[in-house]
Amino acid sequence: MSELFQLYILFFRMGAVTFGGGYAMLPILRREIIESRRWMDEETVMDYYALSQGLPGIIAVNTATFIGQKCRGVAGGILATLGVVFPSLIIISLLAGVITAFSHLAWVQHAFGGVRVCVCILILNAVVKLYKKAVIDGPTLLVFLAVALGSYLTPLSPVLFVLAAAVVGIALKNMGVKK
């Protein structure tokens, strides 16, 4: 029980102090899990982290679930996950109330006007970074364009595009044309 609680507290702290999620977690993971507690070795943590990026869901959440379950089984996985999301719940609940209360003020609206421009650039930068890793040849370029246009121009759910892309990926790689 106390070890489970420790796991919860550790990931709670990680959720509370890391800005930006997944990437920002790594230095703390290294210090707390590998160096001071010696629960896992560096290679395992890095493997889990890499795999977490590829799986569906939030990277930080996936990493927490992996490490929690590796350390203390199913209960560990669940508690580590609850730990990493709980600070968000507290902080956002407090903040959302404040924002709602002040959102009618002109200067607050101007501030968000500026912030939304920044969001455009942050998304653009994220897309460029992902594009370099994901679009590696002709077929992947076609998938990228088809999904980007299809998603922008139609109200179809992203779920459909994701499922179709997985099928297309499997078909392209296994239909014998390439190998």
Partner 1 sequence: MLYLRLFWEFFKTGMFAVGGGMATIPFLYNMADATGWFTRNDIANMIAVGESTPGPIGVNMATYVGYVTGGSVGGVPAAVLGAAVATLGLVTPSIIIILIIASFLKSFRNNRYVESAFYGLRPASTGLIAAAGLSVVVSNLFFAETLDQGFSLAFFNWKGWILAAVLWTLTNKVKQTKGLHPILFILASAVAGVVFSM
Q: Which of 42, 92, 101, 102 binds partner 1 (CB under 8 A)?
A: 92
Q: In the chain, what is the straight-line distance between the N-terminal and C-terminal CA atoms, in Å?
A: 52
Residues 46 and 26 sit within 8 Å (Cβ to Cβ): no
Q: Which residue, 42 or 92, is less far from partner 1 as judged by CB?
A: 92
Spatial separation of the C-alpha atoms in residues 98 and 113, rounded to whole Å = 18
Should residue 177 be labelled a site residue for partner 1 when binding is judged by CB under 8 A? no
Q: Which of 31, 97, 101, 102 binds partner 1 (CB under 8 A)?
A: 97
Residues 48 and 66 sit within 8 Å (Cβ to Cβ): yes
Q: Which residue, 34 or 165, is less far from partner 1 as judged by CB?
A: 165
Token pair 């078909």 in the structure block, residue: 171
Nearby residues of 32 by Cβ (< 8 Å), 6 or more positions away: 10, 14
Q: Which of residues 32-51 bind partner 1 (CB under 8 A)?
A: 51
Q: Which residue, 1 or 120, is less far from partner 1 as judged by CB?
A: 120
Q: Which of residues 98-127 bind partner 1 (CB under 8 A)?
A: 99-100, 107, 110-127
Q: Which of 4, 28, 46, 140 binds partner 1 (CB under 8 A)?
A: 140
Binding part of the chain for partner 1, among 1-9, 30-38, 57-65 by CB under 8 A, reads 57-65
Residue 9-28 contact track with partner 1, rule CB under 8 A, x = bound: ------xxxxxxxx------
Which candidate, 53, 49, 58, 47, places its Cα nearest to that of 81? 58
Tokens read off for 132: 């370099």
Tokens read off for 130: 């992902």
Q: Which of 4, 26, 28, 164 binds partner 1 (CB under 8 A)?
A: 164
